[in-house]
Structure 1
Amino acid sequence: MNKLLVVTVLAALLALNVEGFRVPRQADEERGTMTKITDNIKSYYDSAVNTASEYVESIKGLKLEEKAKNLYVDTTAAASTYAGIMQDQIYHFFYPQQ
């Protein structure tokens, strides 16, 4: 009888202690609709930013920035040469040598 009483008391104490250690559930019902929408928007935004960052990194790997800079330098050099020639032609058109 004593063993049964001891086992019952221990089981009751164990049950009371286990109830105190319960982890509360995170219910979706507690979150509002705006919170869900905001979280989804943040998720899509983060995904878009990460994708764009990956594209930028892949473009930097191709050294397109350097190629574009060289193209700009070559184009401006050629354009300034032809602009100088055009300026000389216009000057000689308006002020012919006598």
Structure 2
Amino acid sequence: MNKLLLVTVLLAPLAISVESFRMPRQAEEDQGTLTMISDTIKSYYNNVVNTASDYMETLKNLKIEEKVNNLYTETTTILSTYNGILQDQLYHLFYSQDA
């Protein structure tokens, strides 16, 4: 008799918790159409934000900004050199000394 009482006492909270576990499932089924639509939109929005932030992290990891800075610096250095040569050639073209 004591074993039966002990098993009943131990199983009663388990049975109560299993029954209360069913309640949220029923509540999910009773959602309205507007709630389902808004949840779907929120999930799409979160997916888009997460994907965009993942792409931004990937771009930061590729160090594109540093590469663009280096390319700009090298290009301006080269162009300033050729600009100086061109100015010198034009100066000698227009102001050449007749020998």
* TM-score, scaled relative to structure 2: 0.54
Structure 2 distance, partners of 1:59, 1:28, is: 40
Structure with greater proportional helix content: 2
| Correspondence for 1:19 | none
The alignment-based identity, stated in percent, is 50
- For structure 2, the residue ranges without an aligned partner over 5 or more in a row are 1-22
| Correspondence for 1:50 | 50
Structure 1 distance, partners of 2:75, 2:31, is: 60
What's the Cα RMSD here?
2.8
Superposed counterparts of 1:21-60, under 5 Å: 25=27, 27-29=30-32, 31=34, 36=37, 40-60=40-60
Structure 2 distance, partners of 1:93, 1:71, is: 32
Aligned residues: 74
- For structure 1, the residue ranges without an aligned partner over 5 or more in a row are 1-21
Structure 2 distance, partners of 1:60, 1:47, is: 20
Secondary structure of the residue that 1:96 maps to in structure 2?
coil
* TM-score, scaled relative to structure 1: 0.55
Q: Are the structure 2 counterparts of residues 43 and 30 from structure 1 closer, same or farther at C-alpha, using a change threshold of 3 Å?
A: closer
| Correspondence for 2:4 | none
What amino acid does structure 1 have at the position aligned with 2:90? Answer: I
What is the CA-CA distance between 1:56 and the residue it aligns to? 1.4
Superposed counterparts of 1:1-98, under 5 Å: 25=27, 27-29=30-32, 31=34, 36=37, 40-98=40-98
What is the CA-CA distance between 1:81 and the residue it aligns to? 0.6
